[in-house]
């Protein structure tokens, strides 16, 4: 009888030890799963944050590039290329993430976006009417100067140029990436008419 009781006691101890070991194994596995899930979540969040940071940056450089392409096309009397550049500016504006802007940036952008878009659309729709394009370019240039003051120059030195011959002697500005005067209002008629009024660094 003693042997049977001792046998049961050993069996019970062994069973308890096995269950304890199994519980530890299960706990360890659950801990590993939790750790792996946590790491995966953190990696996903990190990837999303990087993507968000990339998509939320204001596209000042791209807008300026579109504008400069437009300016150079008008300087060469090329209404077709100017129209393409105008349409490029419109497309960039439609992708701006307004939620990423500060209060000050939002105020400036809200004041300018509709005007910039309207002038760019007119230029884009009138490839065969270069004088009409130039009228809208004059107003677009004022808006671009204001945009650059708030959002920066896209990492490049820019020049604010002035032509006294435009608008019945009132004159008009434009923004250029080079010091050399290449007049977008007069084109081949008077390509070097104008002066640099300001360096925008």
pLDDT tier for residue 184 given thresholds of 50, 70 and 90? very high
Task: Write the pLDDT tens digit of every residue in 24-33.
Answer: 444 444 444 4
Residue 117 pLDDT greater than 60, yes or no: yes
pLDDT at residue 174 in the model:
98
Average pLDDT over residues 81-92: 98
Matching residue, tokens 């596209």:
59
């Amino acid at each position: 009888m003693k042997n049977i009781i001792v046998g049961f006691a050993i069996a019970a101890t062994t069973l308890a030890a096995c269950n304890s070991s199994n519980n530890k194994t299960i706990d360890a596995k659950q801990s590993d799963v939790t750790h792996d899930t946590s790491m995966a979540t953190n990696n996903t969040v990190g990837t999303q944050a990087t993507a968000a940071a990339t998509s939320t940056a204001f596209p000042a450089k791209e807008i300026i590039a579109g504008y400069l392409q437009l300016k150079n096309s008008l300087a060469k009397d090329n209404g077709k290329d100017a129209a393409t550049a105008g349409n490029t500016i419109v497309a960039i504006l439609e992708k701006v993430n307004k939620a990423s802007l500060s209060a000050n940036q939002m105020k400036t952008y809200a004041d300018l976006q509709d005007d910039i878009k309207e002038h760019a659309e007119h230029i884009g729709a009138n490839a065969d009417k270069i004088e009409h394009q130039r009228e809208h370019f004059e107003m677009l240039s004022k808006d671009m100067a204001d945009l650059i003051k708030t959002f920066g120059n896209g990492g490049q030195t820019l020049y604010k140029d002035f032509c006294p011959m435009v608008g019945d002697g009132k004159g008009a500005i434009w923004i250029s990436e080079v010091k050399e005067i290449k007049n977008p209002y007069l084109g081949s008629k008077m390509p070097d008419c104008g002066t640099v009024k300001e360096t925008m660094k």
